[in-house]
Amino acid sequence: MTTSFDFNRAPFNCLNPAEQDRIAAALDVAYYAAGSVIQQQGEGVDALLVVMKGLVREGGEAHFYGCFDVLDSKSLLSGKACCTLHAHEDTLLWHIRRDVAMKISDANSQFAAFFYADVARKLAALSHPVQELQPRVADAVLHTPCWLAESATVMDAARLMKRAHSRAVLVKEASGVGIFTQSDLRNVVVDGLDANHEAIYRHLKRPLICVQAEDDLHHAMLLMMRHSVQRLVVLEGDEVCGVLEQIELMSAFFNNSHNPRGITAQIGRASHPDALLAAVKSTQQLIRTLHGNGMKITLLAELVGEIRQRLFSRLFTLLAPPEMLLHVCLLVLGSEGRGEQILNTDQDNALIIEDGYQHPDLERVCEQFNQQLIAFGYPPCPGLVMVSNPQWRQSVAGYKRLINHWTSSASSENVMHMAIWLDARPVCGQLALFEGLRQYLQQDLGDNAAFLSRFAFPVEQFSPPINLFSRLITTAGPDKHALDIKKGGIFPVVHGLRSLALQYGVDECNSYQRIQRLSDIGHLSESFGRDLAESLAFLQGLQLKAGLLNQAMDKPVDHLIDPATLTTLERELLKDTLSVVKQFRQLISHHFKLGML
C-alpha cells in the first residue's frame, strides 16, 4: 500500500532518491472511522501524518484536509500536537515515523523548512528550488574587462577596443574606476577633438553601474533600465570580473519582443498616445511570462513599476505642450507609487502646479491623460484621485493648504488622503515641486502623537483572517468561503509601515524599503523585519496568482482567496504569514496606543 505515495508533492518533492527510500521504508497506514479523533491538541506525536484517502477536519473549524495533505506539520519539531484532528469521513492516513522524518530534516534544509517556525527562513528555503531556475548574471556571456591606465589617450582606448572586440574599456584612477564606451568615442570624434592627444580621463563615466555575478539577470535588466545604460560592470565581491552587455543579457533569457528593454523602447518610440497600447499589452504578457517562470514578486513589481513609470511619463509628455512640463510635476499614488502594483487596477494620480502658473490647455491635458489610461485598461479611481479632478490638480500653495487640512483633523477621509499622498512618487515634470511638498509635510508632524495615533488607527479596522489556534477564518465572497487577502493581510502591513515611516521621517515609500530603513534605525528588529518582508511578499504573490487566474477567466481582479484552492504548502505558509501580520498589527496597536482611542 505504500507504493502509491506521491513524492512529487510538497514537501517530499525536494528529497533525493535515498531519502525517498528511507521515507518509503518508514511508512505505515492507519484507518480512522468517520467521526473518530485522530489526535488531541497537546498530546505527544510520534509520526508525521499525510492523508491517503478521505477527509480530515481540524478542530471545531470548517477547515478540511484531503488527499496528500500534510497534517499539523509544526508538531514534527515540537513533538506535541498543535491542534485536534477528526476524521470527517472514513479516512486512511500514512504515518511516517517522526524519528526518520527528523533525521532527514537534519540533512535536507529544504525539507526541514516546511516545518520551521521562523517564517523568513521557511519562505526563503522553500522558494529556493524556484529561484535556482532563474538565470544569474554569471550564466550570461560576459566580456573580459579591458583596462587602461589613467594616462592613456582616447586613441589608446580605440585601438584596445578594436583589438579586443570590446565596446568599452575600464580605467583605474586614484579615486576609483571609470568607464569609456563607444558612445564616448563617437562624441570625441563629433566634437573634433584630437584622439591622439586627448586624455581619456576627461571622458570617463563615474561612478560605475555594477552588478554582482550571483545576482538575478532580471535585476541586471532593471539596473540597465533605471540608469539608461547598455552595459554593467560585473563584480565578484569587490573585484571586477567582467562586463555584461545589453545584447548578451537579452539573448540569455528573452527570444521575443515581450521583454523589458523592448517594451521601454516601444514606449520611447511612441509618437502618439494610441501607439502606447502595444507596450501596455506587451507588459501584460511579460507579467504572465515572468510570474510563470517563478520570478520573485518583489523584483517583478519593481520591474513592472519601472516600465509603468516610463509609460505614464511618455503619455503625459505626448499630451502636454513642452513648456507645460517646466511648471508641473505628475505623481502616481497608492500601490503604484509604492512600486508594488503589478496588475492594472484603479488609477491613482495627481498633478502639482507651480504657484502662479496657468495654461489654457491644462484641464484638457489632464482629462485626456485619465481617459487614455482608461482606454489602456486602468479603471478610473472610485474616489476620483485623478489629475482630472481639481482636488488632485493644484498649485504648491493649494497642496500646502490641503496638507494643513489633513493634519488638522484626523477624520477617516483625511487619513485616507494623507495615506495616499505619503505613497506618492514623481514620474514626470519638475521633481523639485514634489520635494518641496514632501519636506513641508514632514515638518513637526513626526512629534504629533495624537495625529499619528489617529493616522495609524485604520490598522485596527481589518483583523487578519486567522484565529488564536492558527486556523484560517473564511467570511468573504458570495459563499463566505474566501478571505480578503488585501484587507486582512496586506493592508495592515502596508499602513502600519506607512505610519512608522511618517513618525520617524523615513522618506522611502516602498514597503520593503521602509522595512529595511526602519530596521536600520532600530525601530524594527532585524529578524522580525525579515519575517515581515517575506510575509508581505508571499501575500502579494498569492494576490497576483489569484488576479492572473481571474484575468484568464475574464473575471474582474479582486483580492479574495479561497483556501480550498491552495496547495497544502500554500495553506501552511498562509497561516504562518497571517500570524506575522497579526504580530505586527499588535505591535502597531501598542506602539501608537490605539487601544486608548
**What is the structure's pLDDT at 379?**
92
Is the alpha carbon torsion for 449, 453, 454, 456 positive or negative?
positive
Local confidence band at 85 (pLDDT 50, 70, 90 cut-offs)? very high
Neighbouring CB atoms inside 10 A of 61's CB total: 15
Gap between the Cα atoms of 156 and 176, Å rounded: 20
Asked if residue 87 has pLDDT above 90, the reply is yes
Is the separation of the CB atoms in 244 and 140 below 8 Å?
Answer: yes
Is a pLDDT exceeding 80 seen at residue 252? Answer: no
Q: Which residues pair with 240 in a beta bridge?
A: 235
| Comparison of pLDDT for 64 and 365, the residue scoring more | 365
Per-residue pLDDT band for 133 (boundaries 50, 70, 90) equals: very low
- Percentage above 70 pLDDT, the chain: 91
pLDDT digits (tens, 9 = 90+) for 330-346: 999 999 999 999 998 88
Residue 192 backbone dihedrals phi, psi, to 5 degrees:
75, 25
Task: Report domain 138-252's class.
Answer: alpha beta
pLDDT greater than 60 at residue 354: yes
Grid cell of 527 as nine digits:
529578524
Say what the pLDDT of residue 369 is: 97
Please report the beta strands in 471-518, taking only residues with DSSP state E, as ranges in sequence order: 483-484
Q: 285 Cβ partners below 8 Å, 6+ apart?
A: 258
457-596 domain in CATH 2.40.50? no
Q: Does CATH place domain 2-115 in 3.40.190.10?
A: no
At 208-226, the pLDDT tens digits run: 999 999 888 878 887 887 8
Query: Is the pLDDT at 550 greater than 50, yes or no?
Result: yes
Q: What pLDDT sits at residue 218? A: 77
Question: Could you state, in order of their start, the residue ranges of all structural domains in the chain?
Answer: 2-115, 138-252, 260-443, 457-596
Whether pLDDT at 552 is above 70: yes
Residue 28 CB neighbour total at 10 angstroms: 12
Query: Which tens digits make up the pLDDT trace of 278-299?
Result: 899 889 888 988 888 778 888 8
Q: Determine the pLDDT at residue 118.
A: 57
- Could you tell me which CATH number the domain at 260-443 has? 3.30.460.10
DSSP secondary structure code for residue 66 in this structure: -
**Region 571-580 average pLDDT:** 86
Best-predicted range by mean pLDDT (252-266, 267-281, 462-476) = 267-281
At residue 564's C-alpha, the angle toward residues 562 and 568, to 5°, is: 120
What confidence score (pLDDT) does residue 119 get?
A: 62
Which residue type does 374 have?
A: I
Cell triple for 354: 507651480
Which has more pLDDT, 192 or 135?
Answer: 192
Q: How confident is the model at residue 28 (pLDDT cuts 50, 70, 90)?
A: very high
Mean pLDDT, rounded, for 186-203 = 92
Residue 444 has a pLDDT of 60
Find where cell 491542534 sits.
Answer: 83
b/e for 86-109, b at 16 or more Cβ within 10 A?
bbbeebebbbbbbebbeebbeeee
Per residue in 43-69, pLDDT tens?
Answer: 999 999 999 999 998 876 556 788 888
- Distance, in Å, from the CA atom of 68 to the CA atom of 217, rounded to the nearest integer, reads 36
Q: Is the pLDDT of residue 513 over 60?
A: yes
Residue 34 confidence class, pLDDT cut points 50, 70, 90? very high
Q: Give percent of the chain with pLDDT exceeding 90.
A: 52
CB 24 within 8 A of CB 43: no
Burial 151-185 (b: 16+ CB within 10 A, else e): ebbbbbbbebbeeeebbbbbbeeeeebbbbbbebb
Place of cell 502658473: 357
Residue 233 contacts residue 206 (beta carbons within 8 Å): no
Q: What is the pLDDT of residue 584?
A: 95
Tell me the whole-structure pTM to 2 decimals: 0.72
Measured CA distances, 257 to 156, 252, 254, 268, 286 (Å)? 37, 14, 8, 14, 9
Q: Tell the residue number behind the cell numbers 563607444, with chain if given.
A: 182
Query: Could you report how far apart the first and last alpha carbons of the chain are, in Å?
Result: 60
Helices and strands of the chain, counted as H and E runs: 24, 20
Cβ–Cβ < 8 Å for 450, 407: no
Predicted confidence (pLDDT) per residue in 434-492, tens digit: 999 998 887 766 567 888 999 999 999 877 776 644 556 667 666 667 888 998 899 99
Whether 585 has a pLDDT exceeding 70, the answer reads yes
**Torsion angles phi and psi, residue 299, rounded to 5:** -70, -40
Q: What are phi and psi of 328, to 5 degrees?
A: -135, 165
DSSP 80: B
Give the CA radius of gyration of the chain: 28
For the record, the C-alpha cell of 504 comes out as 520617524
Question: Cα–Cα distance between 381 and 399 in angstroms, integer?
Answer: 20
Alpha-carbon distance of 348 to 263, in angstroms, equals 22
- Higher pLDDT residue, 261 or 123? 261
Contact 241, 144 (CB under 8 A): no
Question: What pLDDT does residue 60 have?
Answer: 61
552 or 385, which is more confident: 385
Asked whether the bond before 11 is cis by omega within 30 degrees of 0, the reply is yes
Per-residue confidence (pLDDT) for residue 431, from 0 to 100: 93
For 197, other C-beta atoms within 10 Å of its C-beta total 9
Per-residue pLDDT at 247 exceeds 90 = no
Of residues 44, 229, 231, 267, the one with CA closest to residue 145: 231
pLDDT for the residue 129? 46
Query: What pLDDT is stored for residue 78 in this prediction?
Result: 80
pLDDT band of 179, cuts 50, 70, 90: very high
pLDDT at res. 126? 57
Cα separation values, 9 from 74, 106, 525, 543, Å: 18, 20, 35, 23
Predicted local confidence at residue 2, as pLDDT: 45
For residues 20-41, give the mean pLDDT.
Answer: 92
DSSP string, 10-48: TTGGG--HHHHHHHHHTEEEEEE-TT-EEE-TTSB--EE
CB 216 within 8 A of CB 136: yes
**Residue that wins the pLDDT comparison between 433 and 254:** 433
Other beta carbons within 10 angstroms of residue 37's beta carbon come to 11
How far is CA 410 from each of CA 14, 133, 230, 414, rounded to the nearest angstrom?
A: 51, 48, 48, 6
- For residue 69, the model assigns a pLDDT of 85
Q: pLDDT tens across 491-504, in order?
A: 999 999 999 999 99
User: Contact 161/146 with Cβ under 8 angstroms?
Assistant: yes
Helices (H), 270-325: 277-292, 297-319
| Mean of pLDDT values over 252-264 | 66
pLDDT, residue 466, reads 66
Average pLDDT of the chain, as a whole number: 87
CA–CA separation, 590 vs 499, rounded Å? Answer: 13
Domains 2-115 and 138-252 fall in the same CATH topology? no
Cell 505642450 locates to: 321
